[in-house]
Chain A
């Protein structure tokens, strides 16, 4: 369970201060799929960065599995990021020069997974996104959709418990976007993994269990599909 309690994030100082998140609170049950919606600049990415421990809001608590991640030291946060969560970004961020295999291998290397246990997990992840045949190809030779599928493989290889996706289909046409969406929701349902998607796309938002609407850093409404 993820509990966000009274989180406030301010950018800049004094006269220039800009409140990107204003006293935000909500709860996400384990295994849920959540869409964070809102206009550009409303604070969606900022919220996602806070929940994933990339950013430190100055006020509030974010409690995951009973621990306030905002109070963790850097080492513990790094460990939390490499073991518990994972990311998919709008602009893929795959390593163009490296092979698909090495791209997917990165999170396992970071978490210190034993060498002999990596191969199977990498191949399983590539199989899940139907890229096993591209194992040895360099990432720069892939199409946009393939790159995002590779990013999905990289995100799921470490068996994360929470998957963050910031505009995962923003750079893809609707057909390819659909494939990536299906992958994410399939993974969410099959593995009981919490999926948190930042999106503009109302159709994608509708597939989620919970929709959180943000406006000017404040929660406008929270809707559930149940």
Chain B
């Protein structure tokens, strides 16, 4: 018997049991729906993360550089070292000194070293306005900011970039109104009496107002100025304190013709840990992958349940059609072909369920996408991205699973003795 004829007959017997076929395939459909949606969420999440990373990192850069602490077990008492240690919410960091930065600059393959540190001024204000708390970061040209007005092209020692929220708080009607105006950063002098601290006002021109971006981690909430400016106010802020002349971490740019991983190894040999953009990405991707795996797990559970549904339905179908099977075998239908007929019926059920589930998932995801993006305020970004190939793989996979589920009932059908089968009235 030709495969084409078997396929058509299989489809026809399913058509004759519409309700049963539909219900059985809906069980698979639930699994298909969950899996297709999980894959789409994973793909969307990865795309979103890749966007964030590419707009916040440079592939030639190494980040979070800190001195290596070999064999440190955080659960045991630590030996005293001479290193400067800062404690951030229980997480201890060994700080970098200028000497470390100089040492890094000499490491093979390093183009430039940039210390990373934040300054928390006493407050930020401008004439006739309220005082606000703030945090200042060094401006990094590789981090793409979106500007509501102005830009960072002419950033110099007198310049500052403020987020749009501060623009509003500081009483500017709109972003372009703020450009060229002055803001004051009030810094406490290091080592002065905390009850009556000595303070100093530093004044800067606003050159840019940045929007809260769709895909950036920083830049949305901190004020930014050149690294040199920050060093001046930071030194003023920390003079006479133990952390004077230290930095939280640093980033390094690799030379254009040197691989970042080579530089990473070289830094490691010099005694510094660092992370490439890829290392940072890996962490986010791992998180997304775990999340996706959990969702797919639920889908797989639904598929597993539907496997028993298929086996059960197919067994009942074999029993109901004993006579038909007997007749077909009496007319010379091969055992193999009888088995194929029932396996193909299972395949149709899997195809139907897979298609229904996938179509619903794509439709639901497409409708939900703008709603989710709006709710999360991430702008015009899709968090659910359907890849036609993965949808196709899911449908094909479910067809295979269904065929496998159909094997036992199909074998029962193939083994039926035609004489016995034809005796049943």
Q: Which of A37-96 contact B (CB under 8 A)?
A: 49, 52, 54-55, 74-75, 78-83, 86-87, 89, 91, 93, 95
Segment at the interface with A among B146-154, B326-334, B403-411:
B326-334
Give the interface centre of B331, B333, B337, B422 by most chain A CB atoms within 10 Å. Answer: B331
Question: B408: shortest Cβ distance to chain A, in Å?
Answer: 21
Neighbouring A residues of B337 by C-beta, 8 Å:
110
Cβ-neighbour of B330 out of A54, A75, A83 (below 8 A): A54
- Interface flag for A107 (CB, 8 Å): yes
Q: How far is the CA of A74 from the CA of B417 in the complex (A)?
A: 13
- Residues on the B chain within 8 Å of A49, using CB: 419
Bound Cα distance A49, B420 (Å): 11
Beyond A102-B12, A112-B1, whether A95 also contacts B334 by CB under 8 A is: no
B331 and A107 contacting across the interface, CB-CB below 8 Å: yes
Judge whether A111 is part of the interface by a CB distance below 8 angstroms.
yes
Query: Shortest CB–CB separation between residue A148 and chain B, in angstroms?
Result: 14
B418 part of interface (Cβ distance < 8 Å): yes
Interfacial chain B residues near A111, Cβ < 8 Å: 332
Nearest CB in chain B: distance from A111 CB, A: 7
- Interface assignment of B5: CB less than 8 Å from any CB of chain A: yes
Q: How far is the CA of A83 from the CA of B332 in the complex (A)?
A: 8
Residues of chain B lying within 8 A (CB to CB) of residue A97: 13, 16
Interface centre among B2, B16, B422 (most CB of A within 10 A): B422
A110 touches B419 (CB 8 A): no
Q: In the complex, what residues of A have CB within 8 A of residue B9's CB?
A: 109
Residues of B287-326 at the interface with A, using a CB-CB cut-off of 8 Å, are: 323-324, 326
Contact with B along A95-135 (1 / 0, CB 8 A): 10110001000110111100100000000000000000000
Answer whether residue B425 sits at the interface, using C-beta atoms and an 8 A cutoff: yes
Taking chain B's interface residues, is the majority helix, strand, or loop, or is none over half, making it mixed?
helix
1/0 contact string of B1-34 vs chain A (CB within 8 Å): 1101100010011001000000000000000000
Interface pair A81/B419, CB less than 8 Å apart: no
Residues of the A chain whose Cβ atoms lie less than 8 Å from the Cβ of B334: 75, 78
**Residues B172-190 near A (CB distance < 8 A):** none
B333 & A93 in contact (Cβ 8 Å cutoff)? no
State whether B419 touches A55 (Cβ < 8 A): yes
Q: How many contacts A-B (CB < 8 Å)?
A: 56
B202 to chain A, nearest CB (A): 88
In angstroms, Cα B323 to Cα A110, docked, is 16
User: Which B residues are in CB contact (< 8 Å) with A91?
Assistant: 425
Q: Are B419 and A54 in contact (CB under 8 A)?
A: yes
CB contacts (< 8 Å) of B16 on chain A: these are 97-98
Residue B275 lies at the interface, judged by CB distance under 8 Å to chain A: no
Chain B residues touching A, range: 20 to 34
A78 touches B422 (CB 8 A): no
Tell me, in angstroms, the Cα distance from A87 to B337 when the chains sit together: 20
A109 touches B5 (CB 8 A): yes
Q: Are B425 and A112 in contact (CB under 8 A)?
A: no
- Whether B330 and A81, one on each chain, are in contact in the complex, defined by CB atoms closer than 8 angstroms, is yes
Chain B 90-133 near chain A by CB (<8 Å), digits 1 or 0:
00000000000000000000000000000000000000000000
**Does B60 have its Cβ within 8 Å of any Cβ on chain A?**
no
Chain B residues within 8 Å of A102, by CB: 12
- From known contacts A89-B422, A93-B422, A97-B16, infer whether A110 and B324 are also in contact, taking CB-CB under 8 Å: no
Chain A residues near B330 (CB-CB < 8 A)? 52, 54, 81, 87
Query: Complex: how many Å from CA A109 to CA B1?
Result: 6
Query: Which chain B residues (325-373) contact chain A, with CB distance < 8 Å?
Result: 326-328, 330-335, 337
B323: A residues at CB distance < 8 A:
93
A81 touching B331, Cβ below 8 Å = yes
Interface centre among B4, B330, B333, by most A CB within 10 Å?
Answer: B330
Chain B residue with the shortest CB-CB distance to A103: B327
**Are the C-beta atoms of B331 and A110 separated by less than 8 Å?**
yes
Q: What's the minimum C-beta distance from B246 to chain A, rounded to whole angstroms?
A: 84
A98 touches B328 (CB 8 A): no
Please measure, in the bound complex, the distance between the C-alpha atom of A222 and the C-alpha atom of B91, giving whole angstroms: 105
Q: Which residues of A contact B331 (CB under 8 A)?
A: 81-82, 86-87, 106-107, 110
Q: In the assembled complex, which residues on chain A have CB atoms less than 8 Å from the CB atom of B333? A: 78, 82, 110
A109 touches B332 (CB 8 A): no
B12 contact from A82, A83, A93, A98, Cβ within 8 A = A98
Closest to B2 in A: A112
A196–chain B nearest beta-carbon distance, Å: 15
CA distance A107 to B327 in the complex (A): 10
CB distance from B1 to the nearest CB of A (A): 5
Chain A residue contacts of B335, Cβ below 8 A: 74, 78
Q: How many Å lie between the Cα of A82 and that of B1 in the bound state?
A: 10
Question: Are the C-beta atoms of A106 and B328 separated by less than 8 Å?
Answer: yes
In the complex, what's the smallest C-beta–C-beta distance from A86 to chain B, in angstroms?
A: 8
| Interfacial chain B residues near A115, Cβ < 8 Å | 4
Docked pose: A89 CA to B333 CA in angstroms:
17
Q: Complex formed: what's the CA distance from A56 to B211 in Å?
A: 87
Question: 1/0 contact trace for A133-158 toward B, CB 8 Å?
Answer: 00000000000000000000000000
Residues of A within 8 A of B (CB): 49, 52, 54-55, 74-75, 78-83, 86-87, 89, 91, 93, 95, 97-98, 102, 106-107, 109-112, 115
Given contacts A54-B419, A95-B324, list 5 more A-B pairs with CB under 8 A: A87-B330, A87-B331, A97-B16, A106-B328, A115-B4
Across the A-B interface, give the 10 residue pairs with the lowest CB-CB distance, nearest first: A82-B332, A81-B332, A109-B5, A97-B16, A78-B332, A110-B333, A93-B327, A78-B334, A107-B331, A110-B1
- Interchain Cβ contacts under 8 Å between A and B, 20 examples: A49-B419, A52-B330, A54-B418, A78-B332, A81-B332, A82-B333, A87-B331, A93-B324, A93-B326, A93-B327, A95-B324, A95-B327, A97-B13, A102-B12, A106-B331, A109-B2, A110-B331, A110-B333, A112-B2, A115-B4
